[in-house]
Amino acid sequence: MLRTLELENFCSFRDSTTLDLTTSAKTPTDYSFTTSLVGDQVTVLSGVFGANASGKTNLLRGLAFLNFLMRHSYRNQEADEPIPVDSFVGREDIPSKLRIEFEGASENYRYEVQVCHRQIHEERLSRRHKKTGSFRTLLHRVQGEKGIELNQPEPFTDLSAVRQLLKDRPNASMIAAGLVTGRAEFKKLDAALGKIETNVNRMGKDDNSGQRVFDALKECAHYLEQNAHFKEDVEERLKRADLGIAGFVNHTLDVPDKKTGKVKKVPFPFVIHQSEGQQFEMSMAMESAGTKRLFLLLRSFLPVLLDGGIAVIDEMESDLHPHLIPLILDLFSDPDINPKRAQLLFTCHHVEILNSLSKEQVILVEKDVHCVSHAYRLSDIRGVRRDDNYFANYNAGRYGAVPEPDLI
């Protein structure tokens, strides 16, 4: 479960910026919050709002980058490949700083990194001591004159195995290398971080259009074939969305391979409709953009809801009617549907959704005249009451982060 995320010199966030998902144990809350290991509360829902190009996606991109660095930087990039990190324009020679605090598997961890395209300058993994409440360093890595220096102030793992893996891999994190060893302590760390399902990559939102939508639908069909227990849930959500759908089924299609031209048989989703007592099927590719969007979102949400973790979704409202978004939020707020207390972090331009969130769950992002992004919570603004009409006040410009286009 994510507690905090801090960024500095990352994309449009030049200065240190903190995304804090915690609140006091005394804060009046509902099922969209959960009690943490520390004793405070962590929000399950977090919506990011602001003008276009304000930096909303960049905030989500920080979490997507950390997920790659911590988990996949050893296996999914070559030894001489540059690290896919983007600093603030003009500050490319200064390392980007990122820090994440998360909890799970009965532990509270903190991971910090200073990184640029060429190498990881410093990494630190800490764990909260349950008696004192302070964080104690488990692993520390710096890039010294003679190469990578790795040590553990407290016993944690077999350093020789991690050192060997990192010997010629300055672009891989010590966590990603540790996961390659398969050792139990790194598996526990990975479990504590939880699944991170996102539609954000280095270029921003992964814009599923044209052929990419077809490929995404194929991937969904394959996933549901491998995880048949999700099928009933997907059907239920699609029906509740009132899209005239009675169910869906996978059929096998003959699809030519892009490289070889050979025909392969692949599963593809078809939607079952009912009209005047008769049923008929239609390829999901022929459905409306909103139906396809909801289907792809459900594919992202359900594994997180089942296993725990966080769904990070940019532009939640894309192709969806505003009335469907509270339905999605309810999936995460319902303790019966979300017993692992999975989280949802999303950006949205449908600002009426503000009234579906608590003030601790609203993150506002705006960019100043120097193209520097700043993020703050609605609860940080003095005088904001819990019973205020956030939608009306936001539109009135009382909270900032409102588009102000010049009239021509």
Question: What residue type is 224 in one-letter code?
Answer: L
Q: Where are the domains of the chain?
A: 2-194+308-395, 211-294
Q: Is the dihedral of CA 287, 293, 297, 300 positive or negative?
A: positive
Supply the pLDDT for residue 243.
Answer: 66
Q: How many residues does the chain have?
A: 408
Contacts of 191 (CB under 8 A, 6+ apart): 104, 105
DSSP 8-state assignment for residue 359? G
* Predicted confidence pLDDT, tens digits, the chain (408 residues): 999 999 999 999 999 999 999 999 999 999 999 999 999 999 999 999 999 999 999 999 999 999 999 999 999 999 889 999 999 999 999 999 999 999 998 999 999 999 999 899 999 999 999 999 999 999 999 988 888 999 999 899 999 999 999 988 889 999 999 999 999 999 999 999 999 999 888 877 776 544 578 888 888 888 888 888 777 878 887 887 766 788 888 888 887 877 787 888 888 889 888 877 788 898 888 888 888 888 888 888 888 988 899 999 999 888 777 778 888 898 899 888 899 999 999 999 999 999 999 999 999 999 999 999 999 999 999 999 999 999 999 999 999 887 665 544
Q: Are 321 and 358 in contact (CB under 8 A)?
A: no
The CATH architecture to which 2-194+308-395 belongs is 3-Layer(aba) Sandwich (3.40)
Centre a 10 Å sphere on the Cβ of residue 107 and count the other Cβ atoms it contains: 15
pTM tops 0.75: yes
Torsion of CA 384, 1, 107, 159, to 10 degrees: -120
Q: Are 284 and 234 in contact (CB under 8 A)?
A: no
The rounded distance, in Å, linking the Cα atoms of 35 and 40 is 6
Centre a 10 Å sphere on the Cβ of residue 100 and count the other Cβ atoms it contains: 22
In what order do the strands lie in the sheet containing 147-151?
A: 17-20, 2-8, 96-104, 107-115, 120-128, 135-144, 147-151
Could you give the angle at the alpha carbon of 63 between the alpha carbons of 222 and 104, nearest 5°? 80
Supply the pLDDT for residue 298.
Answer: 82
Supply the pLDDT for residue 201.
Answer: 85
The rounded distance, in Å, linking the Cα atoms of 335 and 362 is 21
